[in-house]
Amino acid sequence: MSPALPLKDSSRERQVFSARVLLVLVLAVALMGTLVLRMVQLQVWEYEAYQTRSDENRIQVQPLAPPRGLIYDRNGELLADNRAVSSLNVVQERVQDMPALLEHIATLVSVTPEDLASFESRLKRTRRPFEPVALKLNLSEEEVARLAVHRHELAGIEITTQLVRHYPFDGLFAHSVGSVRRITEEDLQRLDPVQYSATRFVGKRGVERFYETSLHGEVGYQQVEIDAHGRVRQVLNIRPPVAGENITLQLDSRLQIAATAALGERRGAVVAMDPRSGGVLAMVSNPSYDPNLFVMGMSDAQYRELSTSRKTPLFNRAVNGQYAPGSTFKPVVGLAALASGVTNWTEAIEDRGWFKLPGQDRIYRDWSWTVGNSGGQGHVDLHRAIYRSANVFFYDLATRMDIDDLARFARQFGLGSNVAVDIADASDGLVPDRIWKRGAKGEIWYPGDSVNMGIGQGNLLVTPLQLATMASAIANRGHPVRPRMLLSSDQPLVESDPPLPLPAIAGPTPDDWERMVDAMEDVVHRGNQGYGGNGTAWYYIGRDIAYRMAGKSGTAQVVEIRQGEEYDAEELDEYNRKHAWFIAFAPADDPVIAVSVLVENGGGGSAVAAPVAREVLDAYLQPQLAAR
Amino acid sequence: MSSRDFVRSLPGGGLGTRQRLLQIHLDPLLLLVLLCVIGYGLVVLYSALDRNLTLFTNQVMRMLLALGTMLVAAQLHPRFYMRWSPLVYTGGFLMLVLVLLIGTEVKGSQRWLDLPGLPRFQPSEVMKIAVPMMVAWYFHERPLPPSLKDTLVALAIIFAPAACIVLQPDLGTGILVAGAGLAVVLLAGISWKWLGYALLAAAVAAPGMWLYGLKDYQRQRILTLFDPESDPLGAGWNIIQSTTAIGSGGVFGKGLFQGTQSHLDFLPESHTDFIIAVIGEELGLVGIVSLLTLYLLLIARGLYIAMNASHSYERLLAGALTITFFVYAFVNVAMVSGLLPVVGVPLPLVSYGGTSAITLLTSFGMIMAVRTHKGW
């Protein structure tokens, strides 16, 4: 040791050291005491708060989506069921390198730019940590297998399986059964947040929408113990969901297939009803779409095609398409005239093919009119006016009737309002009258309006569903029925609060109804009488028919043909051509089916729409006739 | 209960056992309490490891290895430590510099040295012992209480390696190393006046440190301490979950293996730095106070040995190592219970891992050496 260093005072050193050590000891005891105090605070004073927090941490209540009720047709055929689909989810917190993971996933399953975009937006929404975010919603079995093989390289992915709606007939029932769609923000405003807490789809159209509450079922819960990663460790308690009600519809899938086939590629609609019950046996709107696309997802291009196509496949023509009924309205005008005493079965006029209102120059034409005011149907009474579809007779009748009486009478057939039991989104159509015209157009009712209404033109609007309802009312000889989709269900449904039955149509005598049905039978069956003597549809459907059918054709103008010009289908744009209508019911003396057929821009009702109606009735009646 | 009473109750005990332990330079009381802490720790760890036998066996082997190093350390005469102090310190410091230059990066900080032919190790760990050794060496031949000049030299000895460690960055170890060195300065008898000045200077420097000295994540950890709910899923998560674990344990705990916070993965680092929360949750206040009492016994015994040592180097070294141990324990428990910001300090002799156990038991071996080697 260096002697230069000052001497050490050993005992003083030891004294100071001992004092310091004691101080440290006191300090250590004090600090340990602080820690103990802190533990007492946490474990004794605030114990309950932390106890609760710990339970909340680990115990979570998870909603369980109920399986949606199944939908059957009247033969027990499944129209809507559920099937399991797998989706690929990503837990962001467990992913080290998101771009690399997404790239890797893209080599295994097809991930579209749309998938990625919606994934990004879902990621940005607030979520709890470790909540899986959907990346791709509908994995094929092959993709699931491929992901499973590469599972170990893909930290942070999860594959979940859940039940979603499936429509085995694809587009066949898209407009009658309807479809479910993904729940939107807007839907969340009206849906019960508790019941729908685990549900991803909601009925948006047709039956799926009307019976939503019953089909949806009741949400279930499970109390689970979870870890910090949101993974379920064990289920503590479970209240299973109550599956939605299974329902059976009036629809007959065989008839639906026949009706769809009968329409073929043409735009249009077919509604077939059992006139005794109002049960809708077939409801076709063509073109249709595959409702499964809305469940499984589709590309933007597919959606754009569906929503902007001029053929409007998403539009349900059967209940929302509103068209002038044309000549199919003539039986109603005739019955109204009989009821109000304006005409009888013997009164006749001389039909020269055109009609003029007193003091006006405008000429209203019959369909048999030709340039130069030749043509016409000769001696015409009500019976002949129906089977020949003579316009001039009805021009004359309509101008002689009070228009408000005619409108009131027509509404008894279910026109001008939605009388259906369970088709909530059906359109009302329009039966114009004086009050309507003043309100909507600010004009008084002109005699010319009556002339147009006499042949089902002008402002009169009906849907194919309404014409089927009207045909049913005639088939029932004045007893209208409300159209209905539901045939039966295992349990009474909450939606089953049927409105009162429609009252019998007042005015026409039973004899009037029989004679009107006779006249409509002649539309189909009166043949071999020479051109001017045959029913309008006989040539097209009546020559080889095995049962008695009553029918009425109609041809609705889309654009107005100028005075003095002839209608020329060739010259008109396809979408400006006339709509073809046909209504029918059979067997005429004891009808079991009534049908309305619309072919948009199809041309003449008898030539175009009547064969479709015939095919539908054949499909329904022939098995029954064969059985007899 | 005195150590003598206890040793008598050991199987085959009596004075013979005590003598035999002292002959192989082990302090019976320290040894007993250390074994209690280690045994207790292993039981809790077994639960925290979710009864994973492989990892548990690993830890048992490590503890046995650490006890072996303690036995070796106790055999060496304190004189030997004194002579080697400058070399160990200089070597350790050079390795710290080396770490900053060529260290291996693990989880974003450069702490490990991978030298060919040697197992990978953390030089900062060595400094927990080397720094108090060096300061004690520096003071032992100088008059105490130290002069201002000697104090400044000691501070340089302390803060040069501590700064290197903080730069790695490893704030926790840096604090422990600095604490170990400062303990020597305190025990050497630095005057209260200077201590006051130092605290004042620290207070003045604090805002500057806050702005320029700390990294963002470190600032965040300190802020989180005052308001864990401000970022419940990020920086606050650990503290919220650990206080929840401790608080929900209550007085007697949920029972061993019954802790939901730890077994359901809510508690992060449940088998390493945050293991005290597992004790709090499963064994309650009773479990924590038991452990803290054992710790306090170790500290009291260490200080007692230091006080009764004959040479000033021995005194300073034993005292400083004991204080280091205390700082270790206090910082860990305080941080897990939300009293201090989260820094990476394991719970001494309980947390999973071998490095800190070897360092700690080596230092207890040195304390035992001070107790059992006679003559200077």
- Put simply, the answer to whether B264 touches A129 (Cβ < 8 Å) is no
- Put simply, the answer to whether B289 touches A18 (Cβ < 8 Å) is no
Count CB neighbours of A123 within 10 A: 13
3-state secondary structure A78-111: EEEEEEEEEEEEECHHHCCCHHHHHHHHHHHCCC
Listed residue (B200, B158, B203) closest to B183, CA to CA: B158
Coil vs helix vs strand at A313: coil
pLDDT at B63 over 90: yes
Measured CA to CA, the distance from residue B177 to residue A377 in angstroms comes to 117
Listed residue (A268, A273, A278, A294) closest to A80, CA to CA: A294
The whole-angstrom distance between B77's CA and the closest CA on chain A is 19
- Put simply, the answer to whether B292 touches A32 (Cβ < 8 Å) is yes
Measured CA to CA, the distance from residue B207 to residue B226 in angstroms comes to 17
Q: What pLDDT score was predicted for residue B365?
A: 96
For residue B294, name the pLDDT band (cuts at 50, 70, 90). Answer: very high
- A179, A253, A327, A450: which one is catalytic? A327
Q: Which residue has the tokens 């539901």?
A: A486
Provide the β-strand partners of residue A368. Answer: none
3-state secondary structure A441-486: HCCCCCHHHHHHHHCCCCCCEECHHHHHHHHHHHHCCCCCCCCECE
DSSP B289-341: HHHHHHHHHHHHHHHHHHHT-SSHHHHHHHHHHHHHHHHHHHHHHHHHTTSS-
A5 in B contact zone (CB under 8 Å): yes
- Written as one letter, the residue type at B191 is S
Residue B316: list chain A partners with CB under 8 A: 17
Average pLDDT over residues B104-116: 71
What count of residues does chain B have? 376
- Put simply, the answer to whether B261 touches A57 (Cβ < 8 Å) is yes
Listed residue (A420, A336, A404, A368) closest to A536, CA to CA: A368
Average pLDDT over residues B317-345: 91
Residue B306: list chain A partners with CB under 8 A: 17, 21
* 8 Å CB contact between A411 and A422: no
Q: Buried b vs exposed e over A375-406: b needs ≥16 C-beta within 10 Å?
A: bbbbebbbbbbbbbbbbbbbbbbbbebebebb
- Put simply, the answer to whether A51 touches B245 (Cβ < 8 Å) is no
What angle (nearest 5°) sits at the alpha carbon of residue B333, between those of residues B330 and B338? Answer: 115
* 8 Å CB contact between B366 and B129: yes
* 8 Å CB contact between A450 and A565: no
Residue A233: list chain B partners with CB under 8 A: 264
Chain A residues 198-227 within an 8 A CB cutoff of chain B: 225-227
Residue B83: list chain A partners with CB under 8 A: none
- Mutate which: A35, A51, A226, A232, vs B, most B CBs within 10 A: A35
Pairing of strands A268-273, A280-286: antiparallel
Measured CA to CA, the distance from residue A563 to residue A556 in angstroms comes to 17
B260 in A contact zone (CB under 8 Å): yes
Residue A29: list chain B partners with CB under 8 A: 296
Enter the tokens of residue B91: 């070597």
Task: Return the sign of the alpha-carbon dihedral for residues A338, A343, A346, A352.
Answer: negative
H/E element holding A278? none
The whole-angstrom distance between B231's CA and the closest CA on chain A is 12
For residue A142, name the pLDDT band (cuts at 50, 70, 90). Answer: confident
Enter the tokens of residue B70: 């303690």
Considering only alpha carbons, which residue of chain B is nearest residue A25? B300
DSSP A37-73: HHHHIIIIITHHHHHHHHHHHHEEEEEEPPPPPPEE-
Enter the tokens of residue B52: 């994973």
* 8 Å CB contact between A208 and A495: no
Which CA distances in Å does B110 have to A173, B125, B209, B219?
A: 67, 13, 22, 20
Average pLDDT over residues A415-444: 92
Measured CA to CA, the distance from residue A272 to residue A279 in angstroms comes to 9
Question: pLDDT tens across B214-264, in order?
Answer: 777 777 777 777 776 666 655 677 888 899 999 999 999 998 888 888 887
Count CB neighbours of B354 within 10 A: 14
Average pLDDT over residues B101-122: 72
Average pLDDT over residues B275-291: 95
Question: pLDDT tens across A69-86, in order?
Answer: 999 999 999 999 998 888
- Put simply, the answer to whether A7 touches B143 (Cβ < 8 Å) is yes
- Put simply, the answer to whether B264 touches A226 (Cβ < 8 Å) is yes
Among the residue ranges A273-282, B162-171, B328-337, the one predicted with the least confidence is B162-171
Residue A8: list chain B partners with CB under 8 A: 141-144, 312
Provide the number of CB pairs (under 8 Å) joining chain A to chain B: 152
pLDDT at A334 over 50: yes
Q: What pLDDT score was predicted for residue A230?
A: 63
Q: What pLDDT score was predicted for residue A173?
A: 94
A386 Cβ contact partners less than 8 Å away, ≥ 6 residues apart: A330, A331, A334, A516, A519, A520, A522, A523, A552
* 8 Å CB contact between B22 and B72: no
Residue B284: list chain A partners with CB under 8 A: 43
User: In this complex, which of B144, B241, B249 lies closest to A13 when CB atoms are compared?
Assistant: B144
pLDDT at A31 over 50: yes
Measured CA to CA, the distance from residue A382 to residue A390 in angstroms comes to 9
Residue A54: list chain B partners with CB under 8 A: 244-245, 247-248, 260-261
- Put simply, the answer to whether A43 touches B249 (Cβ < 8 Å) is yes
For residue A4, name the pLDDT band (cuts at 50, 70, 90). Answer: very low
Burial class (CB in 10 A: 0-12, 13-18, 19+), A562: exposed
Coil vs helix vs strand at A161: strand
Q: Which residue has the tokens 């000697």?
A: B150
B243 in A contact zone (CB under 8 Å): yes
A218 Cβ contact partners less than 8 Å away, ≥ 6 residues apart: A66, A195, A241, A242
- Global pTM value: 0.67
Q: What pLDDT score was predicted for residue A280?
A: 96
Peptide bond into A287 cis (omega under 30): yes
Enter the tokens of residue B338: 């939300």
For residue A1, name the pLDDT band (cuts at 50, 70, 90). Answer: very low
Residue A225: list chain B partners with CB under 8 A: 260, 264
* 8 Å CB contact between B311 and B77: no
**More confident position, A339 or B221:** A339
- Mutate which: A7, A10, A21, A26, vs B, most B CBs within 10 A: A21
Q: What pLDDT score was predicted for residue A568?
A: 62
Coil vs helix vs strand at B52: coil
H/E element holding A218? none
Q: What pLDDT score was predicted for residue A132?
A: 75
Coil vs helix vs strand at A602: coil
Chain A residues 103-132 within an 8 A CB cutoff of chain B: 129
Q: What pLDDT score was predicted for residue A354?
A: 83
Average pLDDT, chain B: 87
A37 in B contact zone (CB under 8 Å): no
For residue A381, name the pLDDT band (cuts at 50, 70, 90). Answer: very high
User: In this complex, which of A7, A20, A28 lies closest to B186 when CB atoms are compared?
Assistant: A20
Task: Return the sign of the alpha-carbon dihedral for residues A479, A482, A483, A487.
Answer: negative
**Dihedral, B274, B278, B283, B284 alpha carbons, nearest 10:** 60
Considering only alpha carbons, which residue of chain B is nearest residue A234? B264
* 8 Å CB contact between A133 and A98: no
- Put simply, the answer to whether B288 touches A39 (Cβ < 8 Å) is yes
Question: pLDDT tens across A220-262, in order?
Answer: 888 888 776 667 777 888 889 999 999 999 999 999 999 999 9
The whole-angstrom distance between B215's CA and the closest CA on chain A is 23
- Put simply, the answer to whether A227 touches B300 (Cβ < 8 Å) is no
Q: What pLDDT score was predicted for residue A200?
A: 83
pLDDT at A320 over 70: yes
Question: pLDDT tens across A88-117, in order?
Answer: 888 877 787 888 888 888 888 888 887 888
> Which strands make up the sheet holding A232-239, listed edge to edge?
A59-64, A220-226, A232-239
pLDDT at B198 over 70: yes
Q: What pLDDT score was predicted for residue A467?
A: 96
- Written as one letter, the residue type at A570 is E
Residue B246: list chain A partners with CB under 8 A: 39, 42-43, 50
pLDDT at B158 over 90: yes
* 8 Å CB contact between A392 and A352: yes
- Put simply, the answer to whether B330 touches A229 (Cβ < 8 Å) is no
- Put simply, the answer to whether A8 touches B143 (Cβ < 8 Å) is yes
Report chain B's C-alpha Rg in angstroms.
Answer: 21
- Written as one letter, the residue type at B4 is R
Average pLDDT over residues A494-507: 87
Residue B144: list chain A partners with CB under 8 A: 8, 12-13, 16-17
Side-chain-side CA neighbours of residue A387 (13 Å): 27
Listed residue (A429, A428, A449, A427) closest to A438, CA to CA: A449
- Put simply, the answer to whether B303 touches A20 (Cβ < 8 Å) is no
B315 in A contact zone (CB under 8 Å): yes
**More confident position, A62 or B1:** A62
Burial class (CB in 10 A: 0-12, 13-18, 19+), B17: middle
Catalytic (active site) residue A18: no
The whole-angstrom distance between A223's CA and the closest CA on chain B is 15
* 8 Å CB contact between B305 and B278: no
Enter the tokens of residue A267: 């735009």
- Written as one letter, the residue type at B287 is G
Counting residues of chain A whose pLDDT is more than 70, the rounded percentage is 94
Measured CA to CA, the distance from residue A331 to residue A470 in angstroms comes to 10
Average pLDDT, chain A: 87
A575 in B contact zone (CB under 8 Å): no
- Put simply, the answer to whether B250 touches A53 (Cβ < 8 Å) is no
**More confident position, A350 or A133:** A350
DSSP A528-543: SS-GGGS-TTIIIIIT
For residue A374, name the pLDDT band (cuts at 50, 70, 90). Answer: low
- Put simply, the answer to whether A5 touches B250 (Cβ < 8 Å) is no
Q: What pLDDT score was predicted for residue A414?
A: 94
Enter the tokens of residue A484: 């209905």
Q: What pLDDT score was predicted for residue B1?
A: 43
A49 in B contact zone (CB under 8 Å): yes
User: In this complex, which of A17, A36, A42 lies closest to B247 when CB atoms are compared?
Assistant: A42
Chain B residues 107-166 within an 8 A CB cutoff of chain A: 141-145
Measured CA to CA, the distance from residue A48 to residue A68 in angstroms comes to 42
pLDDT at B315 over 80: yes
Q: What pLDDT score was predicted for residue A563?
A: 56
Count CB neighbours of A604 within 10 A: 21
